Amino acid sequence: MRTVKSMNKLAGTVVSLRIPIIIVTVVVTVVLGFFSKDIRINPDIMGYLPKDDPVTVLNDYISETYGGSRLAVVALESEDVFTRRTLETVDQLTERFRLIEGIRYVTSLTNIIDIRKVDDWLEVGKLIDPTRFPLQEQELQNLRAYTLGKEMYSGRLVSSDGKATVIVCKLEEGTDEAQVVAEIRKTVSDADPADKVYFAGLPFQLEEISTLVVRDLIRLIPLTVLLIIASLYIGLRSLRGVLLPLLSALISSVWVIGIMSLFEVAFSVISNIIPVVLIAVGSAYSIHVVNSFSEIPPDSSDRRSQSRRALSRVALPVILAALTTVAGFTAFVFGSYLGMIKEFGIFSALGILFSLIISLTFVPSVLSLLRPLQSPAASRRPESGSADDSANRGAFFRLGGWLVRRHRAVFAATAALVGISVVGMPLIRREVDILSYFKRDTQIRISEQMMQQRFGGSTTLQILVKGNIQDPKVLQKMKEMENLLRSREELHNVYSVVELIEAMNDAMVDERTIPDSEAQVANLWFLLEGEESLYQLVNETTDEAVIQATMESMNTRVMSELIQVIRSRIETLEGPEVSFQLGGFLIMFNALDEAVRRSQIQSLLVAVALIFLCNLFLLRSVAGSLIGLIPIMFTLFILFGAMGLSGIPLDIVTVLLGSISLGVGVDYSIHFLSRLRDEFRLSGQREGALVNTLGTTGKAIAVNMGTVSLGFVSLVFGTLLPIRRFALLMLASMLGAGVGALLVLPSIMMMSSPGIFRTLVQRVRLFGGSLRAPRRLSPAPVASDPDYQNDQTNKRGTNK
């Protein structure tokens, strides 16, 4: 009773203040819309691991000490790079790149260190004399043969066939990568090289993601709007039924983006889909409000009173539906380890709350000013006839009659689908490789494939070594670690100070080995002092060094196996004099993969728990709350079964699906159970209550499902592959949630005994007070049983 009064009071307040509510909504939208234009894009998925994560701390330290682990690579390809023209281009770009703020080191053929023996003297200098390029063809051929014959250069700075070379830029930690990458592109454009140019490396990948995110936002939001307009018009057949739900979703999106901009929270690879999610999901609450207002008789003279009744009738189910959706998104805040997923959860939940507020204030305020329309569903409601007599029934009334007769077959089909899904679930794989986000024909993916084929990739693996780096024992253990890395086909370009020491020793005594004594190492070391290449490998106090390698793209299984092999080797090499720590993007990708796995499990558990608690508020029954979870559990089986059978991986975007599906899908159960309670209290007969629930609220659920599904269809046209996969799986989830609420849940209710059904339905309570059966805004529903309908007709006559 208390809840009924609260909803009546809310409805009365909204209708009384409808003009001020409309004005305030418009003003707030305009203000936040002004700030939303300043929203930024942050595509760096690596930056979303917590700052205090050991992997992040180690990689930040390596980057700050040894010149950064972010490699921006510019590659030049021609028939032969050992020509005066190409080498001059490389030298020109190298010098210009060094002047760009944010680039710490630049390495290319024209500035790389070279160690050679000349007339029995050890010479440490540059591979190419910067004051004099080779002029004669023979000099160029000699340089080509010498460079391709040294492991230090071949496959690292120049391809083994001499047809491609790279200029490697190490970016400083904390620099504005987007600005640096833009400067690199401009510098190359100004140089106008005759060779074919490729841009590779993580900074260029992230730049491409940022560009695609902006492009998708511009394309997909209008497409989402058009699809939802089509869905709403087909389902509700009225202009207000199209415009008001859409307008409420757009307003909530503007509010969220404006607040994100005010708090300087940038769009990420994940959160850029928030506007599409809000437009698709946020329109649902207004749909139910519009549907309730459409049941006001068209000849009603007291519009204010009828508007209050229409809003009070639907307010609480809408509130509960929104809260369960918020619970689904909030699960990311408490259940995810990644910052970008937490941000997505926070602002999506905030957007849903805004959609709820707008649906219960702005939308009914506008509707109360419009002339009432009678819903087509209400006009077709039967006053007499049996469940088999469907001549005067709408499609959803006929669906209800069919379900009453075929509920066992529906349950059997449900069990079969769940069984198929269980078979597919173990086939789910995980993926965190950024390169897989791009289509095969994109330029960034073509560049990375070229880098992998000719140079072994552009993503780094780094191992931090602590000890006296001039100690031959430490150098020997570093050598053993390098031997392990070289034995792995996924790794290339293994390099450390060991190569420099061995090259110098080879030039001195014709033995490519590590000297036996620390004094001999120190003598060689003295010749390297002041060389830029040295300080990318060893710190100034010579008590730390890094072993570097590049790696190809690899799946999570190979990545985990490689890490385990390296760590096992570290255990055998470590001792009092030396220690090793695995870093670089290999370990970061692995940490990201583990975070995705952990986030999926934890967010699902939190979402189920929160939604179960929300159901308890509605049903006040543990058994009833568990039954309310059946449709969304069915949705989860469909979702993860589809992922496994289709080969769609679990990544940083598809990890969102489980909790979103739970939060959105449970709305359908709440609206269904709420209406079923009212229908059963009117009729006292199970079959009739189910038929009339499906005939009325079932339509709103179907329109809602269709609208949300069509809203996500637009993402199928996105450029980034994870967003496309997300869209396809979201369609499967929404279909599963709709089928769960409209077919699975009613079939289970039909299969339960009459006593259990009556107990469950009668115990549906809302926040501590049972609701009395509402007074009808349209002709009262009747049961499918003819005797019951005749009895109800007689009762109406007696009451009159």
- How far apart CA 21 and CA 632 sit, in angstroms, is 35
More confident residue, 615 or 317: 317
The answer to whether 731 touches 740, Cβ cutoff 8 Å, is no
Least confident of 56-60, 515-519, 785-789: 785-789
- How far apart CA 613 and CA 597 sit, in angstroms, is 25
Q: How does residue 569 score in pLDDT terms, banded at 50, 70 and 90?
A: very high
Q: Check residue 384 and give its pLDDT.
A: 36
Dihedral (CA of 754, 755, 757, 763) sign: positive
More confident residue, 726 or 131: 726
Pairing assessment for the beta strands 578-584 and 113-118 based on DSSP bridges: unpaired
Task: Give the chain's count of helices (H) and strands (E).
Answer: 28, 10
Q: Check residue 392 and give its pLDDT.
A: 39
Pairing assessment for the beta strands 164-171 and 491-495 based on DSSP bridges: unpaired
One-letter amino acid at 631 equals P
The 3-state DSSP class for residue 219 equals: helix
pLDDT tens digits, 20-79: 999 999 999 999 999 988 888 777 766 677 888 888 888 888 888 886 667 889 999 999
CA 35, chain centre distance (Å): 24
Q: pTM of the full predicted structure?
A: 0.74
Q: Check residue 301 and give its pLDDT.
A: 62
What are 639's two structure tokens? 């979702």
- How far apart CA 450 and CA 452 sit, in angstroms, is 5
Q: Check residue 554 and give its pLDDT.
A: 65
The 3-state DSSP class for residue 51 equals: coil
Q: Check residue 756 and give its pLDDT.
A: 63
Least confident of 142-156, 338-352, 392-406, 764-778: 764-778
Instruction: Count Cβ atoms below 10 Å from residue 753 Cβ, excluding itself.
Output: 8
DSSP for 144-174? HHHHHT-TTTBTTTB-TTSSEEEEEEEEPTT
The answer to whether 679 touches 788, Cβ cutoff 8 Å, is no
Least confident of 35-49, 89-103, 561-575: 35-49
Mean pLDDT of all residues in 123-151: 82
More confident residue, 231 or 33: 33
pLDDT tens digits, 244-256: 888 998 899 999 9
Q: Check residue 765 and give its pLDDT.
A: 52
Cα end-to-end span (Å), the chain: 27
What are 377's two structure tokens? 């569903």
Q: Check residue 698 and give its pLDDT.
A: 84
Residue 299 clears pLDDT 80, i.e. is over it: no
Spatial neighbors of 195 by CB under 8 A, at least 6 apart, are 76, 77, 78, 81, 86, 89
The 3-state DSSP class for residue 107 equals: strand
Q: How does residue 797 score in pLDDT terms, banded at 50, 70 and 90?
A: very low
Q: Check residue 75 and give its pLDDT.
A: 93
- The helix (run of H) or strand (run of E) holding residue 105 is strand 103-107
Q: How does residue 401 score in pLDDT terms, banded at 50, 70 and 90?
A: confident
Residue 778 clears pLDDT 60, i.e. is over it: no
pLDDT tens digits, 704-721: 787 778 777 888 888 888
- The helix (run of H) or strand (run of E) holding residue 198 is strand 196-200
Residue 372 clears pLDDT 70, i.e. is over it: no
More confident residue, 238 or 179: 179
pLDDT tens digits, 254-271: 999 999 999 988 888 778
Residue 395 clears pLDDT 60, i.e. is over it: yes
More confident residue, 549 or 749: 549
Mean pLDDT of all residues in 428-446: 80
Residue 769 clears pLDDT 60, i.e. is over it: no
- How far apart CA 695 and CA 2 sit, in angstroms, is 29
Phi, psi of 328 (to 5 degrees): -60, -45
Q: How does residue 385 score in pLDDT terms, banded at 50, 70 and 90?
A: very low
The answer to whether 88 touches 191, Cβ cutoff 8 Å, is no
Average pLDDT over the chain, rounded to whole? 81
Spatial neighbors of 295 by CB under 8 A, at least 6 apart, are 310, 374, 375, 378, 777, 778
Report for 143-157, 503-517, 586-600: range of highest mean pLDDT: 143-157
Residue 767 clears pLDDT 80, i.e. is over it: no
Mean pLDDT of all residues in 511-539: 84
Least confident of 505-519, 625-639, 748-762: 748-762
Report for 49-53, 649-653, 691-695: range of highest mean pLDDT: 691-695
E-strand stretches of 419-577: 459-467, 491-495, 544-551
- How far apart CA 475 and CA 463 sit, in angstroms, is 14
DSSP for 621-659? -HHHHHHHTHHHHHHHHHHHHHHHHHT--B-TTGGGHHH
